C-alpha cells in the first residue's frame, strides 16, 4: 500500500531535549516536505526536499533541521525544542514537483507538545 509513515504519532517532551520525527514513504517519490498546522494559521511549510541531498527552507524553518540521505526518508529534527514548537506536524511526498498530475500524499500527523 502506498503510504507516508510518520513516527511518533504523539510526543510530549521538555524544552531543550533534542528530538527527531521520522517520515518515510514507499512510493519512490522525489519530493518530500514538512508542514506544521496551528489553529488560526493553517498549514505552513517548514522544509522541503526536491531529491536526495537537496533540501531547502520553507516559510517557517527556524528551530528545525532536516536531512535527506535516502530517497525514502526525510526526518525532522528539533535540536532544542521550545514551547512555541508545540504543533501538529505533517510530512508529505509526491513523485516530483513540476508536473500537473503529481498527487500529494500526507502522513498521519505527529502531535508534538513541548512543556
Interface with another protein (CB under 8 A): 31, 33, 35, 42-45, 48, 50, 56, 58-59, 90, 92, 97-109
The C-alpha cell at 102 is 503529481
Residues in the chain: 115
Nearer to another protein by C-beta: 48 or 74? 48
Q: Do 30 and 51 touch, CB atoms closer than 8 A?
A: yes
Residue with Cβ nearer another protein (14 or 104):
104
Are the CB atoms for 46 and 56 separated by under 8 Å?
no
Contact in structure between 13 and 115 (CB atoms under 8 Å): yes
Comparison of 50 and 77: residue with beta carbon closer to another protein:
50
The angle at the Cα of 71, spanning 67 to 73, to the nearest 5 degrees, equals 55
Q: How far is the CB of 100 from another protein (least distance, A)?
A: 4
Q: How far is the CB of 33 from another protein (least distance, A)?
A: 7
The least CB distance from residue 45 to another protein, in Å, is 5
Could you give the CA distance from residue 66 to residue 52 in angstroms, rounded to a whole number? 12
- Write down the least CB distance from residue 18 to another protein, Å: 25
Choice between 15 and 28, CB closer to another protein: 28
Amino acid at each position: 500500500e502506498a503510504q507516508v509513515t510518520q513516527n511518533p504519532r504523539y510526543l510530549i517532551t521538555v524544552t531543550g531535549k533534542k528530538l527527531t520525527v521520522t517520515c518515510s514513504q514507499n512510493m519512490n517519490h522525489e519530493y518530500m516536505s514538512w508542514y506544521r498546522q496551528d489553529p488560526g494559521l493553517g498549514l505552513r511549510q517548514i522544509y522541503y526536499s526536491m531529491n536526495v541531498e537537496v533540501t531547502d527552507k520553507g516559510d517557517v524553518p527556524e528551530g528545525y533541521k532536516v536531512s535527506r540521505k535516502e530517497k525514502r526518508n526525510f526526518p525532522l529534527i528539533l535540536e532544542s525544542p521550545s514551547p512555541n514548537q508545540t504543533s501538529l506536524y505533517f510530512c508529505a511526498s509526491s513523485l516530483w514537483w513540476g508536473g500537473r498530475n503529481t498527487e500529494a500524499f500526507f502522513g498521519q500527523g505527529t502531535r508534538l507538545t513541548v512543556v
